[in-house]
Structure 1
Amino acid sequence: MEWKSPKELKSKYIQNKPVEMYVFVDPFCMDCWTLSPIVKKLQIQYGDYFTLKHVLAGDLTVLNSGKSGTPKAGRKADPAASPEKTVHMPHLAAISIKAAELQGKRAGIRYLRRLQELHFMEQADITDIYVLEQCASHVGLDQKEFLHDLYSSSAARAFQCDLIIASEMNVGEMPAVVFFNERIEDEGLKISGLYSYDIYVHILTEMLGGYVQPTELPPLELYLSANPMVSTRDLAVIYDMPVQKIERKMKKLQLQRRVERIHTKNGSYWKYIAYN
């Protein structure tokens, strides 16, 4: 299946992307997970106009207390193990994302999304070092490099830098998005909490002086092939369709054996089945 975006044909309004968008996320926050398809849709339709940076934030005292809000189902630590051998290290869930980013921005985003899938879809224990290793393997990271970076000062410093950025921008509520335009004299515009897709588009349009030309969304199956595990809810957001309509489309693909339905406590998910 071949699909050409209209942005390949249109003349460029901009030479450089004039807007920076900082998305502050906590991997244990359900609203941050809910924001994910909205950010994905913004990238698809308006990615020509902004650069995106994910910044980790959140309350580490909550992370370290284990109060993440989702039941744990990962491998249990050996109670007889020495402290340095214990596999449950809550702060590593956050630092592991920075370790993944050291293998590239896209690798970091793939890892973050998979980590959230494990937590919210599969109820896996993402405070477990073995689950983090499996996550890295799943998204194609270099395992040896990932484990080295996970315990390196580079990943720890990168995480501390994120916390400093969150503090400087007064980010307290999760999720949060901060927009900056190319005029350095202008202050950034912060929106805390979770809002509809149209609100983020409106802000982006305002920061671009009213001119934006959205890129057409790809055909559904092409999107699924690039995002092989998605929820009905996420597809409804991205394609701006009622859940019932998305369900009908997905059931047709299921009958064609193009997708497999996966049931979780957080709703239905669809796994794309690639052609052999």
Structure 2
Amino acid sequence: MNLKRHSFEECNQELGICGISDSRERLPLKKPIEIYLFIDPLCQECWSMEPIIKKLQIEYGHYFKVRILLAGKLSHWNAFDRSLKKRNQREQTLDPTMCCAGNVELNKMDLHPYNAFMAVKAAELQGPRAGLRFLRKLREALFLKKCNVTDEAILKECSQEAGLDEDVFLADLHSATATKALQCDIQTTSEMDVESVPSLVFFNGNSEEAGIKISGSYPYHIYEQLLEDMLGHKPERASHPQLEAFLCHYGFLATSEIATVLDKSPEEVERSLKTLMLQQKVEAVPFKYGTFWKWIA
């Protein structure tokens, strides 16, 4: 399939996202590879890919930039089709790669997915990094605290935890600009024929060449090989960060994320983290399927 990226860029140019003002965070400089990552914020499998995406960005982020797009259908958001609830419920019952608080019973929540999607786009209007922080807090609220992340009060709490300008966020939550940004994601999702999440589409620097789409999640070496194939040479891997620097930067990470990124076993990581806990630099936050670690130093 001939996957083109022009429509997404045109939408962003129309919104002014590519030429964002100095008061907001700048987008990355041009890199050889561009990756479109299609997700559903309420999807367990997308959440489980967090360690892989972090590792890819840390080791090879100097070769690519990532655009996160929200994949969904208005028919699902308007009525939240029960088949979608059942699909998500099946995903939540799987033994996850990324730890969570156990089975998140979406079918028992009064969910309005459109609200969560709009909230992510509203957060992104405060800059791409702000959008990522908010997306992370939204997922933590859902998968760790089992909160209804389509409720505006919960979304407000997520914005506070992500360090957003709360008043701006609440105004943007119902704005035409956020609506149009979401419409761009919907349009791109349709044009690229993305039917499942997570999906990644890789593009190289030549805008005339078609992208390569991968649907679902795969072992890390598959993404490494794809980068090598698209670059035409073996990419140089960046060195791993030190454990303390890694935790300090992100603030709140699962054992599985740290182990994946640093190429260590979970047992080895936990031994090091318990040492940091004795030094009162981190605290452990246990959940049913694993432990998160909060940087407090």
When the two structures are superposed, what TM-score results if normalisation uses the length of structure 1? 0.84
Match of 1:187 in 2: 210
Give the secondary-structure state (helix, strand or coil) at the position aligned to 1:106.
helix
After the TM superposition, which of the residue ranges 94-103 and 57-66 deviates more from structure 2? Answer: 57-66
Give the superposed CA RMSD: 1.9
1:57 to 71, 84, 98: 71
Assess if the C-alpha contact under 8 Å between 2:197 and 2:215 holds in 1. yes
> 2: distance between equivalents of 1:124 and 1:62?
20
> 2: distance between equivalents of 1:269 and 1:60?
34
Match of 2:290 in 1: 267
Assess if the C-alpha contact under 8 Å between 1:23 and 1:54 holds in 2. yes
> 1: distance between equivalents of 2:272 and 2:105?
32
> 1: distance between equivalents of 2:207 and 2:181?
24
Q: CA 1:124/1:143 → structure 2, altered by over 3 Å: closer, same or farther? A: same
Match of 1:3 in 2: none
Q: Percent identity?
A: 43
Assess if the C-alpha contact under 8 Å between 2:73 and 2:186 holds in 1. no
Give the secondary-structure state (helix, strand or coil) at the position aligned to 2:53.
helix
Residue identity in the other structure for 1:47 = G
Identify unmatched segments of 5+ residues in structure 1: 1-14, 78-87
Please identify runs of 4+ aligned residues in structure 1 that moved more than 4 A.
59-63
Q: CA 1:155/1:189 → structure 2, altered by over 3 Å: closer, same or farther? A: same
The reply on whether 1:153 has 2:176 as its aligned counterpart is yes
The reply on whether 1:124 has 2:147 as its aligned counterpart is yes
> 1: distance between equivalents of 2:54 and 2:158?
20
Give the secondary-structure state (helix, strand or coil) at the position aligned to 1:58.
coil
Aligned pairs, number:
247
Give the secondary-structure state (helix, strand or coil) at the position aligned to 1:216.
coil
Deviations 1:175-226 (A, max 9, x none): 0110001122321001110112211111111111114111111100110001
Give the secondary-structure state (helix, strand or coil) at the position aligned to 1:166.
helix
Deviations 1:13-70 (A, max 9, x none): xx94111100111111111111112111211121111121000013555552572532
2:52 to 38, 42, 55: 38
Match of 1:82 in 2: none
Residue identity in the other structure for 1:265 = K
When the two structures are superposed, what TM-score results if normalisation uses the length of structure 2? 0.78
Residue identity in the other structure for 2:203 = F
Match of 2:236 in 1: 213
2:40 to 20, 26, 41: 26
Assess if the C-alpha contact under 8 Å between 1:174 and 1:192 holds in 2. yes
> 1: distance between equivalents of 2:169 and 2:287?
29
After the TM superposition, which of the residue ranges 221-230 and 61-70 deviates more from structure 2? Answer: 61-70
Residue identity in the other structure for 1:248 = R
